[in-house]
Amino acid sequence: AKILVLHGPNLNLLGSREPHIYGHLTLVDINNQLAAQAQAAGHELVWFQSNAEHELVGRIQQARDDGTALILFNPAAFTHTSIALRDALAAVAVPFIEVHLSNVHAREPFRHHSYLSDIAIGVICGFGGDSYRLALEAAIHRLQPAAD
């Protein structure tokens, strides 16, 4: 199946951006690891990063018609601000997993609330680059036809 990995604002700076919080992996490192992990399980992974809310809304809308089975989404700061991204995800009804590198609950109070978590399949945060790997593992497990 096709899995979309969506990255929000400032994640293009991963590797050099506050590495004590976000680690040393770059976005390319993370995407390459995820692509290999998806391929090994027989899935196709595509990814998109934008610093602009409207571009993320557009990409989510596109996912309704391009065969995307599931989205891994790190909305970055838009997690805490964006009703528009919430509405887009609700509109397309493509299931998604919310991902954060850092443990947002252990940080500033304004990061404790997410506009997306209650409509996500689940949320993984606090494991650095591994948060994405764990989210993809959960996604692959979910996309597997149930064995009986």
Residue numbers annotated as active site: 22, 100
Residue 56 and residue 84 in contact, taking contact as beta carbons nearer than 8 Å: no
Closest to 90 in 3D by CA, of 110, 112, 71, 111: 71
Q: Which of 49, 50, 74, 82 contacts ligand DQA by CB under 6 A?
A: 74
Q: What tokens does 23 get?
A: 């680690």
Q: Which is nearer to ligand DQA, 66 or 110 (CB)?
A: 110
Q: Is position 101 annotated in a ligand binding site?
A: yes
25 makes contact with ligand DQA (CB under 6 A)? no
CA pseudo-torsion sign 25, 37, 99, 138: negative
How many CA atoms does the CB half-sphere of 100 hold within 13 Å?
A: 23
Tally Cβ neighbours within 10 Å of residue 127. Answer: 17
Q: Which of 34, 57, 104, 140 contacts ligand DQA by CB under 6 A?
A: 104
Q: Which of 51, 102, 120, 121 contacts ligand DQA by CB under 6 A?
A: 102
Between the two ends of the chain, the Cα-to-Cα distance in Å is 21
119 makes contact with ligand DQA (CB under 6 A)? no
- Please report, for residues 41, 102, 108, the alpha-carbon distance to residue 5 in angstroms, rounded to integers and kept in the order given: 16, 17, 26
Q: Which is nearer to ligand DQA, 63 or 124 (CB)?
A: 124
Q: Which of 10, 32, 51, 117 contacts ligand DQA by CB under 6 A?
A: 10
Annotated binding site for substrate: 74, 80, 87, 101-102, 111
Q: Binding site membership: which residues?
A: 74, 80, 87, 101-102, 111
Binding site for ligand DQA (CB under 6 A): 10, 74, 76-77, 79, 100-102, 104, 111
